[in-house]
Chains A and B, each alone.
Chain A
Amino acid sequence: MIIVNNVTKTYGKIVALKNVNFTFNNSSVIAIMGENGAGKSTLLKICTGILPFDQGQVTIDGFDIVRNSIKAREQIGYLPEMPDMYERLTGKEFLFYIASLRKLNDAEDRIYDITKMIGVYDFLDYEIGSYSKGMKQKISVISAIMHNPKNLLLDEPVYGLDPLTSRALQDFIKKRKGTTVIATHSTQLVEQVADIVYLIMRGRVILSDNVSTLVSKYGNMEEAYFQTKDEVNV
């Protein structure tokens, strides 16, 4: 469970998030949508403890991200928007590196299973620097889910993935237990996997609703997104 309480984040004079409140419950898939620069990635970074904020409180399964950072981060899996990794390590070395830092005992079996599922097993002995954008995304997705985290935060998870892997990942998200937060522009992905959607605009939450309710009201998520935005702008 992730609780974001009254969080404000500024970059100099620019307000990225303003008094934002969220409660991401267990066993639900939450989608965060919004235009470029709305504050989606900033919110995810704050929840993972990689970006400091100016005001408010964030707790992950009851652990404060500032005061009890290590415990809070143990409960998280995170996929960043632009997953830069150590280019001179092989994919396998990178995954074992993450597994070691996460203190996973059965790392080899887990890596085998997930890499087979995602379809990168045959490329694991090559250096990450030689991977395509999609391959890097796959390795990064695996590093986020390999420890089976209670809370999974994914920033544009299907970006750069081929249709087959994209579907495999969507199936995985739907089946998994725990909280999954997805920041995305893809209305199709939201419709496929999310239970609840939040719409952020200029650092403020302007809408939170069930995806099924919005789809039945507007026909599909894309229409729901544009209609809601227009209503707010008016």
Chain B
Amino acid sequence: MFETTKIILIENTRNLIKKIKDAPFLYLMFFGMIIFSIFIFSFATYFLINIETNLDISLEDVFFMVFFLFLLKTTADFYNNFTKSLKLTYSLSTQVSQKKTAFETFLAVLLTELIIWFSFSLTFLFTLSIFKININYPFEYLLFTIGIITSSCIGCAISINFFSPKKYRLMPMLILLCFYFYASNPIYVVFTLPLAIIHCAWSLKNSMESYLFSKRKQRTKERSLLKTRTIIKTQFHRETIILWREKLLFSFVFSSVITGLFSGYLFLYGDEILIPGPLRETLGGFLPSMFLFLGVYVVVMYTAVFPGLNLFLNEEKTMWIIRYLPIKNDTIVYGKVSALFLCFLTSIPFIFYISIFTGFDQFGFILWFLIFSYIAGIIISVPLGVKYVGKKSDILLLYSVSMILFLVLGLMVSFVNIIEKFFSDPFIFYLLILLFEFFILYFSLKFSSHILALKYNLTSDNS
């Protein structure tokens, strides 16, 4: 009974333990950040309760934020544990009904989400009680818990039907989500739980269609460019051909444009939209530059950090090719990193689109800051990618890199503010900073190639 559920839970737990053992520092930092974030939320709650503002803390906003986070997580978890899973072939080929296996997978996902929900929420309630805030809200807690169950059902149904050949089956859940958005009331989420369960059960019944559809093999013919190149050009070509075929370059350009427009809009109107009236005078002043900062940060995250990390993270099973061929580690690193210069070009539209809102007089500064941030992204992500080869797009690694980058860029912005206070034309400083950063980049790449080298700890018996 529930063998598949048990196996999935055991394997996921063992994977987590193995990852913690493999990269203890990374996970220590991650858990530290979680605890820190919970304390910050508790302190913010305490602060907002005790100061006199007209600010309303909306339960609905918090509810729907939690709801959608769990919705996304369930969708991804069910995809990883069922639709994409190769290991499931074994249980699906036994005499046990395939629908039952799909249901047991869903159960494993649901249990995981509930464990996460209870651990996080109870820690949060504990920290609130430290601040002596009343936590006696059983009805609201129940509301949130039912919300998590509903989001898991909807997430599972979306995950199944998104990969189905019959995508129209997504419609009921999309209509339901639109209804939630329109109604903006958690109680409707609770009332529609039976609907979500029915659609989820129906989707699970048809889940094999998605499983088989996502695993179909298509023979793709591509035009090959046939010539031998230098080693660095070969590495560049291989990296960019994958970025091109995965359509990542298009997605980078598209995201740069959208981020430029969005952060530009917030640059102009963010104060009015996001800051409540009573706090606007106190907090409003720094918001435009913050949105500019965040815009650059986001663009750099997906055009430099994602591809920078994946240069090596994705090489787990293909490392043998790099290692057995007679190439220096330096050359491998330089060749791969050269592909990031093409990715940099995809971030350029951001500057043009944000300048529509900020005015073109800031164009030079934004370009400088983008270049600085981009190089900083490479400096941080490449060595970490090499260090953790094979941890395919590990979310914790990404989180750690994003935090480090945020800190570095934040410090640089503070430094720039200081410079601008003392010098009217700090162009030369900007140039010097970039030169210094290129120097650091060189060392970062050297360090990466050092990490890439195999470590022989030969004992003294070695002849």
Contacts and interface: CB of A to CB of B under 8 A. Distances in A.
Interface size range on B against A: 35 or more
A85 interface: yes
Which DSSP category, helix, strand, loop or mixed, fits chain B's interface? loop
A26 interface: no
Interface stretch (B67-75, B84-92, B303-311, B452-460): B452-460
A48 B324 contact: yes
Interface in A51-71: 51-57, 66, 70-71
Given A71-B326, A89-B241, A100-B229, A130 B218 contact: yes
Contacts of B463: 5-6, 56-57
A130 to B, nearest CB: 4
A196 B265 CA distance: 75
Contacts of A129: 220
A53 to B, nearest CB: 7
A74 B347 CA distance: 39
Contact of A92 (B226, B233, B234): B226
A80 interface: yes
Given A55-B462, A100-B234, A90 B224 contact: yes
Given A55-B461, A70-B328, A101-B325, A88 B227 contact: no
Given A126-B220, A127-B220, A52 B241 contact: no
B323 A49 contact: yes
Contacts of B454: 49-52
A73 B323 CA distance: 9
A97 B226 CA distance: 10
Contact of A76 (B320, B324, B456): B324
Nearest to A101: B325
B65 to A, nearest CB: 36
A161 interface: no
Interface string A106-138: 011000000000000000111101100000000
B325 A73 contact: yes
Contacts of B324: 48-50, 73, 76, 78
Contacts of B224: 90, 92-93, 96, 124-125
A80 B461 CA distance: 29
A169 to B, nearest CB: 19
A71 B226 CA distance: 27
B245 interface: yes
B228 A86 contact: no
Given A88-B242, A88-B246, A50 B319 contact: yes
Contacts of A190: none
A84 interface: yes
Contacts of B238: 86, 89, 93, 97
The 10 closest A-B pairs by CB, nearest first: A84-B317, A100-B234, A50-B323, A73-B326, A74-B326, A130-B219, A92-B224, A100-B228, A48-B324, A127-B220
24 contacts: A5-B463, A6-B461, A45-B320, A48-B323, A49-B323, A55-B458, A70-B328, A82-B317, A84-B317, A86-B318, A88-B241, A88-B245, A88-B246, A89-B242, A92-B224, A93-B238, A96-B224, A96-B226, A97-B237, A101-B326, A101-B327, A103-B228, A125-B222, A130-B219
